[in-house]
A and B are shown apart, each in its own frame.
Chain A
Amino acid sequence: MKQVLVFLIISLSIPSFLTQDLNFKGALFALNQTGPLAKKWNYNLFVSTTLDAFSQEVNAVIYPASDLQLYLQPSLIYVHTSNLNFSGSYTYQRNNPLRSNFSNEHRLWQQVIFSLPFTIGKLTNRLRYEERFIQNRITGFYPFSSRLRYQLCYNRPLQGKSLDVNEFYLNMYNECYFSLNGTKNATYSENWTYAGIGYDLGNMGRIELGYLYQIYVRNQAKDLRFLNLIQLMWVTNFKRNN
């Protein structure tokens, strides 16, 4: 009985000794530009940088305040109907871009977006398949891995039934990430939740401020990394002159 009790006490204590979840706080700045190329075709350029605002030491490892990620995503959008779009992209991502331990990622992706009216807003479903080539700094190679992402998004005007100039709107989403093959820490590897308030500036586009919460499985032991980010984004949309 005594042995069982000792075993139970040790077993239950293990997680508190070994769990190495990390919690970062910072900011994400993004630029989101869309414009027409042809009648049914549009381009989008999404650029962002993610900053860890505070240095911290966890289990004798120092995590300095720094730029965590640079993200450059040009994409082509085919507008099949106003409720159904298809897109494809080549995306470049650089993790720890200003530090010596940086790593590059080249990514191709294809996605379908389907939206439907919900109350006075819009509910949007996005499914994206990614082919990822992430740099291994030890071997110098870019092994292939793939990922599936599903995003459920809701946005609605906050003043009236449509968004007009000088009015506020609400935007929120949750996205699940599933690593399919290649090197991975977990199949269900990431989850992002966002809620923000935007403001329509008219010809200057829209400005959006929100809170983004990212959960990421950071190693094979399933330790997690939590990112608490204040997100500031400028959205511009050039329109076709008819």
Chain B
Amino acid sequence: MKYLLFLLPFISSFSFSQEKRISAKMISSKINSHLLSSYPTVKKFHFYTEIIAQVPYIECEFKYENDHYSLLFLNDSLIEVEVEVPFSEIPEIERLKISNRLNNDFESYKIIECQKVNQFSNVKYEITLQVKRKGKFEYYFNSLGEFIEREEETEIPIQTQF
């Protein structure tokens, strides 16, 4: 997903992404064999297609050893792995750097999601915060805990009628 976020600014304003759930039967044997060999104990994979700028990506979500995984494939090749990790599992030095940055930006906040992007190479951390009276923010840090960028999420009202 993060890979897609980086792509977005380069995409024409007329394009949009579409995400649709697809059956496991539609997945190539190459992707299937990768999943079965890397995550042998997973019983159920959920697959989605995501089309950005006419390019079809395959996203696969599943739970493995109590962690939530999201994998992104392009032309049957794995391009990104996201895994939810507890904030406390980030190595101490990097975690301190990240905390310092967050404490510097906000007096009080709550970490509602922490994801490790690409586990084995070019590691990044994607951290979602809920800040009182300010809303939701997504922070991106590199493997050394250095700040890359932050995005503020726009909160839209809950839709009702009458």
Q: Which residues of A contact B (CB under 8 A)?
A: 30, 32, 34, 39-40, 42, 44, 46, 48, 71, 73, 77, 79, 81-83, 85, 113, 115, 122, 124, 126, 151, 153, 155, 159-162, 164-167, 173, 192, 194, 202, 233, 235, 237, 239-240, 242
Contacts A73-B162, A81-B130, A113-B160; A239 near B21 (Cβ below 8 A): no
Given A159-B21, A161-B19, 14 other A-B residues pairs in contact with their CB atoms under 8 A = A39-B135, A40-B155, A42-B156, A71-B162, A81-B130, A81-B135, A82-B136, A113-B158, A115-B158, A122-B158, A160-B19, A160-B20, A164-B16, A166-B18
Measured CB to CB, the closest approach of chain A to B1, in angstroms, equals 12
Residue of B nearest to A166 (CB): B18
Q: Is the CB of B157 within 8 A of A32?
A: no
Contacts A160-B19, A164-B18; A126 near B155 (Cβ below 8 A): no
A153 to B133, CA, bound (A): 26
Measured CB to CB, the closest approach of chain A to B150, in angstroms, equals 13
The answer to whether B77 has its CB under 8 Å from any CB of chain A is no
The answer to whether B54 has its CB under 8 Å from any CB of chain A is no
Residues of B132-162 whose CB lies within 8 A of A: 133, 135-136, 152-162
Q: Is the CB of B21 within 8 A of A34?
A: no
Cβ 8 A contact of A160, one of B48, B133, B136: B48
Decide if the interface of chain B is mainly helix, strand, loop or mixed. loop
A79 to B156, CA, bound (A): 7
The answer to whether B75 has its CB under 8 Å from any CB of chain A is no
Q: Is the CB of B154 within 8 A of A32?
A: no
Chain B residues closer than 8 Å to A242, beta-carbon distance = 152, 154
The answer to whether B17 has its CB under 8 Å from any CB of chain A is yes
Residue of B nearest to A120 (CB): B21
Q: Is the CB of B157 within 8 A of A85?
A: yes
Chain A residues closer than 8 Å to B152, beta-carbon distance = 242
Chain B residues closer than 8 Å to A71, beta-carbon distance = 162
Cβ 8 A contact of B154, one of A48, A83, A240: A240
A46 to B162, CA, bound (A): 7
Chain B residues closer than 8 Å to A167, beta-carbon distance = 18, 20
Contacts A30-B161, A46-B162; A82 near B18 (Cβ below 8 A): no
Measured CB to CB, the closest approach of chain B to A13, in angstroms, equals 39
Query: What are 27 pairs between A and B in contact, CB < 8 Å?
Result: A30-B161, A34-B157, A39-B135, A40-B135, A44-B157, A48-B162, A79-B156, A81-B136, A81-B155, A82-B136, A82-B153, A82-B156, A115-B158, A124-B158, A126-B160, A160-B19, A160-B20, A161-B21, A162-B19, A164-B18, A165-B16, A165-B18, A166-B18, A167-B18, A202-B16, A235-B159, A242-B152
A168 to B139, CA, bound (A): 32
A42 to B160, CA, bound (A): 13
A140 to B133, CA, bound (A): 46
Q: Is the CB of B158 within 8 A of A85?
A: yes
Residue of A nearest to B130 (CB): A81
A58 to B99, CA, bound (A): 72
Q: Is the CB of A237 within 8 A of B155?
A: no
Q: Is the CB of B19 within 8 A of A77?
A: no
Measured CB to CB, the closest approach of chain A to B71, in angstroms, equals 15
Cβ 8 A contact of A161, one of B16, B48, B158, B159: B48
A151 to B160, CA, bound (A): 9
Chain B residues closer than 8 Å to A153, beta-carbon distance = 160
Mark each residue of chain B from 1 to 43: 1 if its CB lies under 8 Å from any CB of chain A, else 0. Answer: 0000000000000001111110000000000000000000000
